[in-house]
Amino acid sequence: MKQYDYETQTQKYEFISGQHGGYYRHDFVDHAYLYNLYFPPEAVFTSFRHHIHDLVLNYPVAQDALAGLIGKLIHQPAERIVVGNGAAELIKIVSGHISSKLIIPVPSFNEYANAAPSGRAVEFALEFPSFHLDVDKFAAEAIRVKADMAVVVTPNNPTSMLVPKSDLVCLAQKLAYHDCMLIVDESFMDFVQNPNQTTLEHDIEGHPNMAIFKSMSKAYGICGLRIGYMLTANAAFAEAIRKGVHIWNINGFAEEFLRLLPGYRQEFVESCKQVRADRDNLYCNLCAVSGMTVYKPDTNFVFCRVPDYVQTAPEVTRRLFIEHNIYIKHCRDKTLKDSDRYIRIASRTETENCTLVDALADIINSGKMELSS
* Angle, helix 313-324 to helix 9-16, in steps of 10 degrees: 130
**Which has the closest alpha carbon to 95: 72, 77, 118?**
118
DSSP 8-class letter at 37: T
**Which has the closest alpha carbon to 38: 280, 353, 273, 345?**
273
pLDDT tens per residue, range 63-95: 999 999 999 999 999 999 999 999 999 999 999
**Helical (H) or strand (E) element with 93:** helix 87-93
pLDDT tens per residue, range 133-152: 999 999 999 999 999 999 99
Rg of the chain, C-alpha, whole Å: 21
* Average pLDDT of span 160-166: 98
CA distance 268 to 261: 9
pLDDT tens per residue, range 265-306: 999 999 999 999 999 999 999 999 999 999 999 999 999 999
> Burial level of 308, CB count in 10 A (0-12/13-18/19+)?
exposed
CA 192 to chain centre: 13
Does position 3 have pLDDT exceeding 90, yes or no? no
Does position 372 have pLDDT exceeding 60, yes or no? no
pLDDT tens per residue, range 208-248: 999 999 999 999 999 999 999 999 999 999 999 999 999 99
CB atoms within 10 A of CB 134: 15
Give percent above pLDDT 90 in the chain: 96
* Residue spans in the chain of domains classed CATH 3.40.640.10: 42-264
- Give how far Cα 271 sits from Cα of 9, 138, 162, 172, 224, Å: 33, 35, 20, 32, 19
**Which has the closest alpha carbon to 238: 126, 128, 84?**
84
* Average pLDDT of span 184-200: 97
* Average pLDDT of span 104-109: 98
Q: How confident is the model at residue 369 (pLDDT cuts 50, 70, 90)?
A: low
Order of strands across the sheet with 293-294? 293-294, 301-305, 342-346, 329-330
Domain 9-40+266-372: which CATH class? alpha beta
CA distance 138 to 167: 11
Backbone angles phi, psi at 212, to 5 degrees: -105, 130
DSSP 8-class letter at 101: S
Residue 116: which residues within 8 A CB-CB, separation 6 or more?
A: 95, 96, 99, 102
CATH number (3.30.70.20, 3.40.920.10, 3.30.9.10, 3.40.640.10) of 42-264 reads 3.40.640.10
Reported as half-sphere exposure (CB side, CA atoms, 13 A), residue 272 has a value of 19
CA distance 24 to 246: 29
Give percent above pLDDT 70 in the chain: 98
**Predicted pLDDT at 46:** 98
Q: Specify whether the CB–CB gap between 363 and 320 falls below 8 A.
A: yes
* Residue spans in the chain of domains classed CATH 3.90.1150.10: 9-40+266-372
Across 241-269, b (16+ Cβ under 10 Å) vs e yields bbebbeeebbbbbbbbbbebbeebeebbe
**Predicted pLDDT at 135:** 97
> With a threshold of 0.85, does the pTM exceed it?
yes
Does position 367 have pLDDT exceeding 80, yes or no? no
